[in-house]
Amino acid sequence: MENENRSLFSLDGITGMLIAVVLLLSIVGVLTYFSVVTQAANANNFYKIDNEKEIQMFSTDSAKHVVDVK
């Protein structure tokens, strides 16, 4: 085997690994930021359930009983 065409700083080497790590960490950072913003926006969004005695277990109409208090 010839090792003349190998390069430490090619996309197959350290540079490619660093690009992959930075890309994955940036994706994790963006998703974390969006989850914190979403949680902060909905932390004070209270709701109540109307007519809880009428809610059936296997019904698609159960979501109609949830009312935002805002």
In Å, how far are 11, 39, 51 from 43, measured between CA atoms?
44, 6, 24
Distance CA 61, CA 64 (A): 6
Contacts of 50 (CB under 8 A, 6+ apart): 65, 67
User: Regarding beta strands 66-68 and 47-49, do their DSSP bridges make them parallel or antiparallel, or are they unpaired?
Assistant: antiparallel
pTM over 0.75: no
Domain residue ranges in the chain = 14-68
Tens-digit pLDDT string for the chain (70 aa): 566 666 666 777 788 889 999 999 999 999 999 999 999 988 888 888 888 888 788 877 777 777 877 7
Residue 26: what pLDDT?
A: 98
Give dist(CA 50, CA 55) in Å, integer.
9
